Amino acid sequence: MSANIGAFAFKFMNRKEKITKNTHDRKYHLYIHWCAKESLYKICDKEGISIRNDITIEPFEVKESGEIKGKVRNEKLNESFDLFYSRYDNYAIVWTKKAYENK
């Protein structure tokens, strides 16, 4: 995690999302958000999805690994997802599965 992710976080974070104020965990927290949003973007086939505006990661406490919740909301989609993350060496790894199907 060597890049200055804080410099471009405004491109993928929205106002509903919260990042820790703890300087030690801040960069890792941003990487988890970025990876989670990328995961949701890919699972939803990318069509018409804005990573910043349509994907929201619910607030969570930063740990070495854990579970978080994400939502994808736009004109075509209204879905919630469970996401799982883990730190591996100097990387953040995030994977997802659908939490439920909307009918």
Judged on CB neighbours under 10 Å (0-12, 13-18, 19+), 102 is exposed
Q: Is residue 103 part of a domain?
A: no
Assigned token pair, 14: 């929205």
Question: In the chain, which residues have pLDDT < 70?
Answer: 1-3, 98-103
pLDDT of res. 26? 92
Number of domains in the chain: 1
Separation CA 3–CA 60 (nearest Å): 22
What pLDDT is attached to residue 45? 79
Let me know if residue 42 belongs to a domain: yes
Containing structural domain, residue 90? 5-98
C-alpha 85: how far from its chain's center?
10
The per-residue pLDDT for 101 is 57
Residue 41 included in any domain? yes
40 found inside a domain? yes
| CATH number for position 94 | 3.10.450
The answer to whether residue 62 is domain-embedded is: yes
